[in-house]
């Protein structure tokens, strides 16, 4: 597939998500009928926050889940990838701003079913990007089989194992980032 075909296909995917949101929002059913509601119920989002909170009690890392339904069409047309957007979200959500540089972003772009996991430099010293990419791939497999909630929880569990091994909870273990998923 050529780059222009791929860009056009991505553009149509995000355009479809935008039109759907636009049509159902005035009806008061935006959550139930947009991409977020397709993959996660409100209770699921609350549970994700609880899983992150439980995880962070076991180590000194900070995990932040960010879920975007779609990207602005101008960003798609300009060639911005899910990874590019995850890097922006990493900065915007201040994942880098933890005392020990142990922040991890789990970024989901629902329109494309793309998952990107990025970590701060303290994490990369112990856990490489290859391992984070493997966990992201496993979460993505769950999205292909409609096991998205389960695969996301399992991905957080695997991150927790690694963080416990390399950054065990100490006497001082402040919660530096919000635990609830960031929704955009």
> What is the per-residue pLDDT across 52-111, written as a single tens digit (0 to 9) for each?
999 999 999 999 999 999 998 889 889 999 999 999 999 999 999 999 999 999 999 999
Specify whether the CB–CB gap between 173 and 57 falls below 8 A.
yes
Token pair for residue 37? 């509601």
Nearest Cα neighbor of 21 from 41, 38, 45 is 38
Q: What is the rounded CA–CA span in Å between residue 95 and residue 171?
A: 22
Token pair for residue 147? 């096991």
Q: What pLDDT is attached to residue 21?
A: 63
Residue 135 predicted with pLDDT over 60: yes
Q: What pLDDT is attached to residue 72?
A: 87
Residue 31: pLDDT band (50, 70, 90) is very low
Instruction: Determine the structural domain holding residue 164 and report its residue range.
Output: 3-183
Pairing of strands 103-109, 114-119: antiparallel
**Better-scored residue on pLDDT, 166 or 36:** 166
CATH code, domain carrying 154: 3.10.310.50
Tally: H helices and E strands in the chain: 9, 4
**Residue 162: its H or E element:** helix 148-166
pTM exceeds cut of 0.75: yes
- Residue 12 has phi, psi (to 5 degrees) of -65, -40
- Please, where are the H alpha helices in 80-119? 82-92
How many domains, the chain?
Answer: 1
Q: What pLDDT is attached to residue 20?
A: 63
Specify whether the CB–CB gap between 43 and 148 falls below 8 A.
no
Residue 41 predicted with pLDDT over 80: yes
Q: What is the rounded CA–CA span in Å between residue 181 and residue 179?
A: 6
Residue appearing with tokens 């149509």: 12
Residue appearing with tokens 């001082």: 172
Percent of the chain at pLDDT > 70 equals: 85
Q: What is the rounded CA–CA span in Å between residue 88 and residue 93?
A: 9
**Residue 119: its H or E element:** strand 114-119
> What is the per-residue pLDDT across 6-21, written as a single tens digit (0 to 9) for each?
767 776 776 666 666 6
Question: What value does the mean pLDDT of the chain take?
Answer: 88
């Amino acid at each position: 597939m050529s780059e222009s075909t791929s860009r056009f296909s991505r553009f149509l995917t995000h355009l479809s998500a935008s039109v759907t949101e636009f049509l159902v929002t005035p009806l008061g059913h935006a959550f139930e009928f947009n991409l977020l509601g397709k993959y996660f119920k409100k209770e699921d989002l609350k549970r994700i926050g609880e899983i992150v909170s439980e995880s962070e009690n076991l180590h000194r890392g900070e995990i932040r889940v960010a879920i975007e339904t779609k990207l602005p069409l101008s960003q798609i047309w300009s060639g911005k990838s899910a990874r590019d957007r995850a890097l922006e979200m990493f900065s915007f959500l201040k994942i880098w701003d933890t005392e020990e540089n142990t922040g991890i972003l789990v970024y989901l772009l629902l329109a494309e079913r793309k998952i990107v996991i990025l970590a701060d430099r303290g994490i990369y010293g112990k856990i490489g990007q290859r391992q984070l990419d493997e966990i992201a791939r496993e979460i993505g497999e769950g999205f292909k089989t409609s096991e998205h909630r389960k695969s996301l929880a399992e991905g957080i569990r695997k991150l927790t194992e690694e963080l416990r091994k390399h950054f065990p909870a100490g006497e001082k273990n402040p919660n530096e980032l919000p635990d609830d998923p960031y929704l955009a």
